[in-house]
């Protein structure tokens, strides 16, 4: 949509094809329906939040910065607000308003929006000559492939762009899930499924036991493993097929070990004549209690006053380092973003033009870049779309 509008603004005759008939279906889902459309930060911070090929994006992100994106949407009549961590949303909290503003903009610029799925590129003598669609061929001398990744395929992003790029000779790095729930066969996930833990800290360690991620927030146990905002963020740091990962949850991140031990001691003194299984409910969610007790090695019916200092130390360690084994990342279809895609070495970073085929351009998630949560993925889409639209 960005590429189409910017190209039309420069006087080109533009047709936007989307199998959905209307563009922006995924955009409507973003930010839980609120659309975290960019991040109010400088280009440097933006690049730090892009783990894959940030240098490729330097030029596009410098020419269309988060501030430019904010000005663009404000001018389109979408008032914005900035929340925690620089996340920018429409004031209305409605992603639909962002889509409607873009649709109105495209209409005003005379972009023809057509239902249609591009099935192939027509290339003659090394340059684009047209596209084939499920409704017939369309002649054209410029094509911008902005087909997104291969996640949430019901939105229309089914990965078609990869095959189109490959047909023009482009290398496509294998699409991989990022910002995705984690799979686990740890019995604790089954025992705790449906439970959301707020204000916990999550740490991820690689196979060399080096921490690769640490964040604070909300996570959810599910029948297949773990989900929730910090889990999705963690998944973006869990790349590489042969790696093994170890997760550790700090259930009480606001308390240092010393403070948590003092708190345990206080509860244990208060409940000294109770069974151990009844002594932790002030500290933990009630569903967490039997799981922690089972892992602590202390019998549930033991009286609290008989719990030894060593057993308390073990409990303390468990509360600060609750382990969950991970079997892998969730499926690509469930990922918020697709890592991998069209190799950046074959795309001009300032113009998004193919280095292999004349008249061919790329924009958005189809390119081999991806970012962490916070509005950075859409910022990549706006900036690369703007670059492509400006140079066709």
Ligand X SMILES: Cc1cc2nc3c(=O)[nH]c(=O)nc-3n(C[C@H](O)[C@H](O)[C@H](O)COP(=O)(O)OP(=O)(O)OC[C@H]3O[C@@H](n4cnc5c(N)ncnc54)[C@H](O)[C@@H]3O)c2cc1C
Between 148 and 283, CB nearer to ligand X: 148
Beta-carbon count within 10 A of 321 CB: 12
Distance of CA 84 to the CA centre of its chain: 17
Between 276 and 372, CB nearer to ligand X: 372
Beta-carbon count within 10 A of 94 CB: 16
As a whole number of angstroms, the distance between CA 97 and CA 89 comes to: 10
**Minimal distance in Å, beta carbon 117 to ligand X?**
4
**Minimal distance in Å, beta carbon 36 to ligand X?**
3
The secondary structure of residue 111, as a DSSP letter, is: P
Between 30 and 53, CB nearer to ligand X: 30
**Minimal distance in Å, beta carbon 143 to ligand X?**
10
Chain residues that interact with ligand X, rule: CB under 6 A: 17-20, 23, 25-27, 29-31, 35-36, 117-118, 146-148, 151-152, 156-158, 160, 336-337, 364-365, 375-378, 381
Between 118 and 264, CB nearer to ligand X: 118
As a whole number of angstroms, the distance between CA 133 and CA 119 comes to: 5
Could you tell me the CA-to-CA distances from 164 to 116, 135, 308 in Å, in that order? 15, 17, 66
Between 280 and 335, CB nearer to ligand X: 335
Continuous segment of H or E residues that includes residue 263: helix 257-270
**Minimal distance in Å, beta carbon 251 to ligand X?**
28
Q: Under a CB-based contact definition with an 8 Å cutoff, are residues 352 and 60 in contact?
A: yes
The secondary structure of residue 239, as a DSSP letter, is: -
SS3 call for 302? coil
Between 293 and 342, CB nearer to ligand X: 342
As a whole number of angstroms, the distance between CA 157 and CA 69 comes to: 23
**Minimal distance in Å, beta carbon 203 to ligand X?**
24
As a whole number of angstroms, the distance between CA 60 and CA 52 comes to: 15
Beta-carbon count within 10 A of 132 CB: 14
Residue tagged 């449906």 (tokens): 194
**Minimal distance in Å, beta carbon 207 to ligand X?**
29
Between 277 and 384, CB nearer to ligand X: 384
Output the CA torsion sign for 104, 110, 115, 121.
negative
**Minimal distance in Å, beta carbon 351 to ligand X?**
17
**Minimal distance in Å, beta carbon 147 to ligand X?**
4
SS3 call for 304? helix
Between 27 and 289, CB nearer to ligand X: 27
């Amino acid at each position: 949509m960005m590429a189409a509008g910017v190209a039309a603004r420069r006087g080109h005759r533009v047709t936007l094809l989307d199998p959905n008939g209307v563009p922006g279906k995924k955009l409507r889902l973003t930010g839980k329906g609120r659309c975290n459309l960019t991040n109010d930060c400088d280009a440097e911070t933006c690049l730090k939040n892009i783990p894959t090929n940030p240098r490729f994006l330097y030029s596009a992100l410098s020419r269309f910065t988060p501030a430019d994106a904010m000005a663009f949407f404000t001018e389109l009549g979408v008032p914005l607000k900035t929340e925690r961590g620089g996340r920018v949303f429409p004031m209305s909290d409605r992603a639909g308003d962002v889509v409607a503003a873009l649709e109105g903009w495209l209409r005003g610029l005379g972009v023809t929006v057509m239902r249609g799925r591009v099935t192939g590129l027509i290339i003659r003598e090394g340059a684009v000559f047209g596209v084939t669609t499920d409704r017939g061929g369309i002649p054209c001398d410029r094509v911008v492939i902005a087909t997104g990744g291969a996640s949430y395929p019901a939105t229309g992003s089914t990965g078609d762009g990869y095959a189109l790029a490959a047909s023009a000779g482009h290398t496509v790095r294998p699409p991989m899930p990022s910002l995705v729930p984690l799979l686990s066969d740890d019995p604790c996930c089954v025992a705790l499924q449906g439970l959301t833990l707020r204000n916990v800290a999550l740490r991820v360690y690689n196979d060399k036991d080096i921490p690769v991620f640490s964040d604070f927030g909300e996570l959810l146990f599910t029948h297949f493993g773990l989900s929730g905002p910090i889990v999705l963020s963690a998944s973006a740091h869990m790349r590489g097929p042969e790696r093994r990962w170890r997760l550790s949850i700090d259930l009480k991140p606001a308390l240092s070990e010393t403070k948590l031990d003092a708190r345990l001691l206080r509860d244990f003194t208060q409940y000294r004549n109770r069974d151990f299984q009844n002594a932790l409910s002030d500290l933990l969610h009630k569903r967490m209690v039997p799981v922690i007790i089972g892992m602590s090695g202390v019998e549930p019916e033991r009286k609290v006053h008989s719990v030894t200092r060593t057993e308390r130390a073990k409990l303390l360690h468990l509360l600060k380092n609750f382990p969950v084994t991970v079997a892998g990342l969730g499926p690509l279809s469930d990922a918020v973003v697709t890592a991998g895609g069209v190799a950046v070495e074959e795309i001009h970073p300032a113009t998004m033009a193919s280095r292999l085929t004349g008249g061919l351009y790329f924009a958005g998630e189809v390119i081999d870049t991806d970012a962490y949560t916070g509005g950075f993925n859409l910022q990549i889409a706006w900036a690369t779309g703007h670059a492509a639209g400006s140079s066709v």
